[in-house]
A = this chain, B = another copy of it.
Amino acid sequence: MAKPDKTAINPTRVQDYPEWYQEVIKAAELAENSPVRGCMVIKPWGCATWENIRTHLDRMFKETGHVNAYFPLFIPLSFLQKEADHVQGFAKECAVVTHHRLEAGPDGALVPAGELEEPLVVRPTSETIIGAMFAKWIESYRDLPVLVNQWANVVRWELRTRLFLRTAEFLWQEGHTAHETRDEAWAETLKILEIYRRFAEDYLAIPVLTGEKTAAERFPGADTTFCIEAMMQDRKALQAGTSHFLGQNFAKASEILFTARDQSRQHAWTTSWGVSTRLIGGLVMAHADDDGMVMPPRIAPSHVVILPIIRADADRAAILAYCESLAAELRAQTYDGRPVEVVFDTRDDNAGEKSWRWIKKGIPVRVEVGPRDMASGSVFVGRRDRGPREKYGQKREEFVAGIGALLGEMQAGLLAKARAFRDANTRPVDTYDEFTAFFTPASREKPEIHGGFALSHWCGSPECEAKVNDALSVTIRCIPTGHEDSGPGACIVCGAPSRGRVVFAKAY
């Protein structure tokens, strides 16, 4: 249990941000490393968070006409090679299946046997295998659009991994669509980008910038990649979702042809788009504090924990009954169109330890009920968006009737706080000296503390982009939607003309 002058998470954000991140995930029981290199175990609290993300996004996809399907885990090597840029982009991080059984080797130990004629790659993404199916399914313009989404695991053999942010295996959704015209595919790409933006802001309470990636940051094989970019509490950017306009590149690679209205045979226009369990890493880095996780109510696995405070055995039955009926009353309330989710923690642990456990897990509201609260028909409430020791008594009926509004207030508060932080750390930067200073840590001890998002001019050349990356480890996060509104200027690196500002930042 943390003492009044201590924090539950050590080190704190200011002391060591990367280490703080790992400690929050551990303390909140969201996930942990597994004995399999780079693969994580998503623990029940993290899994329930992902299930909520899945439920809400799935509804948004279905409301816009998408349907779910499921495609093979394995991709034949020859399929992956169909699109040259694509295979180039993933070749360095592929898990390759080469054998289909095990047999006893010379020393009796089992070794791989039954070599496959063609190696299979564990899907890093599914454009090529889904493209092969689209080619079978689509014959005429009447079959279009095809609007498919898949919830699946994918594998990218990352060398330096970090829980949720970068793991060899992760869970995600990948949407794949095929259209009759370029305009329709382009509109789909932007429609999904807008769904991602709404979801990040309205559900995760994470404000995001939307925009287009530069060629250097584009999805391998895409014509155009759009993204949502969020600012974490260390002022770094997190790419939180991408939506790709694939042009006819993959349609040509996979021969997705259709008979057009004029009877000609044409290649379809395709898109793909995805968000992953990385979003949970974003939730941690956007909202958690030095006492642990802070869950936005709309995505929290549970909204309220009831903690009975039993000091004498004689009180036990009465307090538990009081809590039971309180739980039932709360569950009859709704928040965000669903019943309020209540945990009633009856374990016989020390009350303080129990309370801290839930603070660290980030449950939005804690309700303590002791003999005095019971006697006065009241509850003692702790909000996770306030300090852990800042609690208040409230009449039971008032608390129950107000729970939906309280959760709504907290959800809005988290978004407003994150937005204020982002805005306070985003500003126009017009000279390279200022730019360098902006991205130079305040001190050697705190290398993670730097300026944030710099809105600067860029001439559009890959050379200037690479120069900034080499010198400062800063990348162009996106060419923001409506970037020409910021007016013309001179490239921060070479001084050549620019039509609008782009977003520079250090990034995960």
What is A's interface to B at a CB cutoff of 8 Å? 34-36, 39-44, 47-48, 50-51, 67-77, 79, 81, 87, 91-103, 110-112, 114, 119-122, 129, 132-133, 148, 152-153, 155, 157, 169, 171
Given the known inter-chain contacts A77-B110, A91-B110, please indicate yes or no for A41 contacting B68, CB distance below 8 A.
no
A-B contact pairs, 30 of them (CB 8 A): A34-B71, A34-B132, A35-B76, A35-B79, A36-B74, A40-B72, A41-B72, A42-B70, A44-B67, A44-B68, A47-B70, A70-B171, A73-B122, A77-B110, A91-B103, A91-B110, A92-B101, A94-B102, A95-B97, A95-B120, A96-B99, A96-B101, A97-B98, A97-B122, A98-B98, A99-B119, A100-B157, A102-B121, A112-B119, A152-B153
Shortest Cβ-Cβ A-B pairs, 3 listed = A39-B72, A44-B67, A42-B70
Q: In the assembled complex, which residues on chain B have CB atoms less than 8 Å from the CB atom of A110?
A: 77, 81, 87, 91
- Contact check, B91 vs A112: say whether CB atoms are below 8 A apart: no
State how many angstroms separate the Cβ of A379 from the closest Cβ of chain B.
26
Give the oligomeric copy count: 2
- Contact check, A91 vs B96: say whether CB atoms are below 8 A apart: no
- Contact check, A102 vs B95: say whether CB atoms are below 8 A apart: no
State in angstroms the CA–CA spacing of A72 and B152 once bound together.
13
State how many angstroms separate the Cβ of A457 from the closest Cβ of chain B.
38
Name the CB-closest residue of B to A347. Answer: B142
- Contact check, B98 vs A112: say whether CB atoms are below 8 A apart: yes
- Contact check, A44 vs B148: say whether CB atoms are below 8 A apart: yes
Q: In the assembled complex, which residues on chain B have CB atoms less than 8 Å from the CB atom of A114?
A: 157
Given the known inter-chain contacts A36-B76, A153-B73, please indicate yes or no for A41 contacting B133, CB distance below 8 A.
yes
A69's contact among B42, B81, B101, B129, by CB below 8 Å, is which? B42
State in angstroms the CA–CA spacing of A48 and B95 once bound together.
29
State how many angstroms separate the Cβ of A163 from the closest Cβ of chain B.
13
Q: In the assembled complex, which residues on chain B have CB atoms less than 8 Å from the CB atom of A69?
A: 41-44, 47
State in angstroms the CA–CA spacing of A70 and B102 once bound together.
25
Given the known inter-chain contacts A67-B44, A93-B101, A96-B102, please indicate yes or no for A72 contacting B133, CB distance below 8 A.
no
Name the CB-closest residue of B to A39. Answer: B72
Q: In the assembled complex, which residues on chain B have CB atoms less than 8 Å from the CB atom of A48?
A: 67-68
State in angstroms the CA–CA spacing of A155 and B97 once bound together.
12
Q: In the assembled complex, which residues on chain B have CB atoms less than 8 Å from the CB atom of A157?
A: 100-101, 114
Q: In the assembled complex, which residues on chain B have CB atoms less than 8 Å from the CB atom of A94?
A: 99-102
- Contact check, A91 vs B99: say whether CB atoms are below 8 A apart: no
- Contact check, B122 vs A72: say whether CB atoms are below 8 A apart: no
State in angstroms the CA–CA spacing of A94 and B100 once bound together.
5
Given the known inter-chain contacts A44-B68, A67-B47, A119-B112, please indicate yes or no for A39 contacting B102, CB distance below 8 A.
no
State how many angstroms separate the Cβ of A363 from the closest Cβ of chain B.
15
A129's contact among B34, B68, B95, B102, by CB below 8 Å, is which? B34
State in angstroms the CA–CA spacing of A40 and B72 once bound together.
6
Beyond A35-B132, A39-B73, 10 additional pairs, beta carbon < 8 A: A34-B129, A35-B76, A35-B129, A36-B72, A39-B72, A41-B69, A43-B69, A44-B67, A94-B99, A98-B98
Q: In the assembled complex, which residues on chain B have CB atoms less than 8 Å from the CB atom of A103?
A: 91
Name the CB-closest residue of B to A155. Answer: B73
- Contact check, B91 vs A101: say whether CB atoms are below 8 A apart: yes
State in angstroms the CA–CA spacing of A103 and B76 once bound together.
15
State in angstroms the CA–CA spacing of A171 and B153 once bound together.
12
State in angstroms the CA–CA spacing of A111 and B133 once bound together.
25
State how many angstroms separate the Cβ of A254 from the closest Cβ of chain B.
11
Name the CB-closest residue of B to A136. Answer: B32
Name the CB-closest residue of B to A120. Answer: B36
- Contact check, A72 vs B148: say whether CB atoms are below 8 A apart: no
Q: In the assembled complex, which residues on chain B have CB atoms less than 8 Å from the CB atom of A93?
A: 100-101
Q: In the assembled complex, which residues on chain B have CB atoms less than 8 Å from the CB atom of A73?
A: 39, 122, 153, 155, 169
Q: In the assembled complex, which residues on chain B have CB atoms less than 8 Å from the CB atom of A72?
A: 34, 36, 39-41, 169
State how many angstroms separate the Cβ of A47 from the closest Cβ of chain B.
5
State in angstroms the CA–CA spacing of A420 and B42 once bound together.
45
A51's contact among B42, B68, B76, B79, by CB below 8 Å, is which? B68
State how many angstroms separate the Cβ of A10 from the closest Cβ of chain B.
22
Interface centre among A50, A100, A111 (most CB of B within 10 A): A100
Name the CB-closest residue of B to A132. Answer: B35
State in angstroms the CA–CA spacing of A150 and B114 once bound together.
29
State how many angstroms separate the Cβ of A500 from the closest Cβ of chain B.
39
State in angstroms the CA–CA spacing of A95 and B48 once bound together.
29
State how many angstroms separate the Cβ of A283 from the closest Cβ of chain B.
17
State how many angstroms separate the Cβ of A36 from the closest Cβ of chain B.
4
State in angstroms the CA–CA spacing of A152 and B35 once bound together.
19
State in angstroms the CA–CA spacing of A98 and B96 once bound together.
6
State how many angstroms separate the Cβ of A142 from the closest Cβ of chain B.
8
Q: In the assembled complex, which residues on chain B have CB atoms less than 8 Å from the CB atom of A50?
A: 70
